[in-house]
Structure 1
Amino acid sequence: MAVPSRFKVFANRLFGSFKDTETVEAIRSALQNEFNEFLAYSDSAELRRYRELAEWFKSGEHQKVKTELKRLTYKGSPESNTEKEFLALAKSKEVKKYLEKGGDITPAISRYMDLKKQVDSAEFQNRKQYLLSKNKFEQNEAFSKLTEYQKLHNSDKIKWFLGLEKDSSKFNELREWKLEFYDDFDSSALDHQKWLTKFFWGDALLNKNYSFTTDKQNYTDKNFELKDSVLRIVTRKEKSEGLGWDTKFGFVPKTYDYTSGVINTGHVLRLKEGKVEAKIRLSCCPGVTHAFYLVGNSVLPEIDIFIKTDSKPNSFTGAYYTQKSNGKISKNISSIGGVKCSQNFYILGVEWNSNFIIWSINGTPYKIEKNITSDVPMYLVFASSVNSKIDDSKLPAYMEIDWVRCWSPLK
């Protein structure tokens, strides 16, 4: 986990200096694709062959073969001696007479016939031609291997791979993380294996949705829409009956004037440290709160990856809530501007370990805090709610989620 300087984080927050979402996604996609290609090629037959030939080349075997072949001539070779003997016998009177008139086969004639058979054979002639040639190395297997090695060594693919292998820091961030959870919302319905559509304790204790008696909205299973691989959490003006948690009386029936939705991963994913991101767009509607946060079994600590409580269309807020020794709540809140939250999608995330928590927008850190509540397994929650007097004509309001990713660090 790379920890940025507080000055840099402050400057990013002050000036809203982050890349646009499309650029960030294009860069990340290109890097991930290149990393995938790098991993695939690292186990390819072509690379294995190159490494094998590179070791062979390094051994200098090709130079040894080349030197040996330069010393290899027809003169003085067994083939040359055979041919000389054959030509000498062919000029002898005994052989000439036999060839002209025939007769008994003497040892000399028999030898001549054996040598002739050898000299006239294709194997002998090919060997003679090879020994007389000026390009014996080019006809050797070593030359074929050398040519294959040079071709691979000079190929763009090998150069690309070796360059990355030599300076593999390009993929350091990808190597540091293991993807633990993701959802692209590309199915026709919400995946209930991944998401609870209620608070975790409502599912664990009641298997029902609940809100608080102080809330204006009732959380239901019907306030979700999936279209074009985007999940919408919808906040509507509508009356509904639900359960409300009252600190004095417990769960009580209540009629709510609004409905909204909440999802969490408490049943499938909890991380003590890691990195989470979601690509989000919001309706900046007065009176509606949108939040994406991390929480454990207790109310605190809570890490708000973002919380939007106002109608300003140009800022997001990150927050860290903890409990002081005196029981009071400590609030640490920071905002970053320069956004168009109701027009554009933004990648909002948090990375944390036992020492620090870092908030980011489109990969740019804008808030860093000391982690004083480490070792707490935390899960993801997305929720929209009604927090104050609201202009009903602005409803329905939406929190749109294009995708969610969660990583754990590879030790």
Structure 2
Amino acid sequence: MAGILKIFFGKKFPDTRKYETQQDQLRNEYARFLELGNSSLYQRFLELDTQVHSGEFKQRVYDLKHKKFKDTPEYQKLKRFKSLTNNKEIKVYMKFYRSGKAQKMEKIQNSEPYKRFEELKGIVNTPEFYKEKSSPDFKKKEAYKQLKEYKKLQKDNSIKWLLKTEKSQAYKIYKKLDGSEILSEYYELKAFVESPDFKEYKAFMEDRRKFQKSEEASLLKEYAELKKDKDIVWYLRKKEEKPFEELKKWKLTFEDQFSGTSLDQKKWITAYYWGKALMNDSYSLEGEKQYYSPANIEVRDSVLRIITRKEEIEGKVWNPQWGFRKQKFKYTSGLISTGQSFRQKYGRFEAKVRFNKAYPFIHAFWMVGEKMVPHIDIFKTMYSGGRLLEAGIISDIERKTVKESTKRINGAQFTKDFFIYSLDWSENEMVWKINGVPVYRQTHNIPQEPMYLTFCTTLVEEPSESELPAIMEINWIRCYKKV
């Protein structure tokens, strides 16, 4: 009983305005969703989300909060440096080196007197010299002169100081450590602990507020702020709810919102396709009472109107047996077609349409390809009263018999308001909908060729004066293809 009442009072379909508002809102939200997903704001959020949840980052944060300077390798190096600084031998070495004695010794060792002293020392301490010294005429020999020179140099203050210093314990330690690994380690550690980087790091690690001052704290703060950002919150919620899964399946391929002041000639022709293609003229079919005229197409207030009026006019009519011939018509109407601009196989085809009269005015939204069949009626007003529509496929014409699969659609007073009529067409199925509600489904005789769109109002019987003018209004048209 409830279903009958719904149909009787026109409640089978959602309110068109509400339904369209919901669909527009969904599309707008999806556009916003895509824009946000590609925005620098969201990319930064993703970057931070990955970073702050990494094990490496978490470890750094833990270390900054809990790790002390004493827990670091840097502290161990400082500790080792202090140990080496207090090493007795290193202290002696450094004292000896800083006193300048090592440099003084090197200077003396490089002097000519000392070199001569070393040379003579090497001579007077040889067996040959001692043999010469034992001879009775030693004082007359060159060796005697060398000995005298040697003894004189021994008394030289610089050489005497050098020879004495060489015997000191300090010098022995200096010689032992100079160039050693432990001394190299000392200097390496000294350079490390006295560097600005080490001092800065030590001061940072000993600062009780080091975490608050760290880059990690700044990144966590930025991440927390981004998580609260209204756009990010909205985007993440939508990502979780997944309300756009159906929209994601479709890509817009054709659209006209009639926002201009006249019909877009790049998209539409105002006559049957073959009339335009063969003779650049309009025609009507045998039995039709109207002639299609561009003057009956009006674009105003973002709505296209096809107006059927009483008006005498002469035009062509097509008869399958006799071809084209001229005929006088009492009525004019309009037709728009994408036969020269847009064709598509499979997809979603929809339009928001309103008409003020039903039969004998056949308002129709239909599709066809290169031949008269197959022919798809997304809707047409085949019945009087405005409560019944027809939808379906004419798949073939055999021996003047039409092979069709159609359905009568009820559930609303279709002449009262705009409705959104749509067809979802795939390889194996076609689904007709009104305001998103499926009204007919077909899985046989599915067309497999690209088709173009046509909207028109046809007269098959003469209307009464009171029924004129009849108007079909089209607010917008959209076509989509599966991604």
State whether TM-score is above 0.5. Answer: yes
Distance 1:303 1:131, change over 3 A: closer
Tell me which of 436, 459, 466 is aligned to 1:363.
Answer: 436
Question: Are 1:143 and 2:228 matched, yes or no?
Answer: no
Question: Are 1:33 and 2:32 matched, yes or no?
Answer: no
Distance 1:63 1:385, change over 3 A: closer
Q: Give the aligned partner of residue 60 of structure 1.
A: 55
Distance 1:128 1:399, change over 3 A: same
Aligned-partner SS, 2:294: coil
Contact 1:264 1:380 in 2 (8 A): yes
Question: Are 1:338 and 2:407 matched, yes or no?
Answer: no
Distance 1:325 1:285, change over 3 A: closer
Offset, 1:389: 3.3
Aligned-partner SS, 1:222: helix
CA distance in 2, matches of 1:149, 1:204: 62
Normalised by the length of structure 1, the TM-score is 0.80
Aligned-partner SS, 1:61: helix
Offset, 1:50: 1.6
What's the % identity of the aligned pairs? 34
Aligned-partner SS, 2:261: coil
Root-mean-square deviation (Å): 3.4
Aligned-partner SS, 1:284: coil
Q: Give the aligned partner of residue 382 of structure 1.
A: 455
Contact 1:284 1:310 in 2 (8 A): no
Offset, 1:369: 1.2
CA distance in 1, matches of 2:354, 2:58: 65
Question: Are 1:198 and 2:271 matched, yes or no?
Answer: yes
Corresponding residue pairs, total: 370
Question: Are 1:271 and 2:344 matched, yes or no?
Answer: yes
CA distance in 1, matches of 2:231, 2:42: 9
Structure 2, unaligned runs of 5 or more: 1-5, 82-98, 101-195
Contact 1:74 1:128 in 2 (8 A): no
Aligned runs of 1:112-151 on 2, under 5 Å?
Answer: 132-151=206-225
Larger relative contact order (Cα-Cα within 8 Å, sequence gap ≥ 6):
1
Q: Give the aligned partner of residue 280 of structure 1.
A: 353
Q: Give the aligned partner of residue 98 of structure 1.
A: none
CA distance in 1, matches of 2:397, 2:325: 31
Contact 2:364 2:457 in 1 (8 A): yes
Q: Which has the larger radius of gyration?
A: 2
Q: Give the aligned partner of residue 228 of structure 1.
A: 301
Contact 1:226 1:232 in 2 (8 A): yes
Q: Give the aligned partner of residue 93 of structure 1.
A: none
Contact 1:284 1:341 in 2 (8 A): no
Question: Are 1:157 and 2:231 matched, yes or no?
Answer: yes
CA distance in 2, matches of 1:128, 1:181: 67
Contact 1:353 1:371 in 2 (8 A): no
CA distance in 2, matches of 1:319, 1:123: 81
Q: Give the aligned partner of residue 116 of structure 1.
A: none
Distance 1:80 1:364, change over 3 A: same
Aligned runs of 1:9-408 on 2, under 5 Å?
Answer: 17-69=12-64, 70-73=66-69, 132-168=206-242, 170-323=243-396, 328-408=401-481
Offset, 1:79: 10
CA distance in 1, matches of 2:217, 2:481: 50
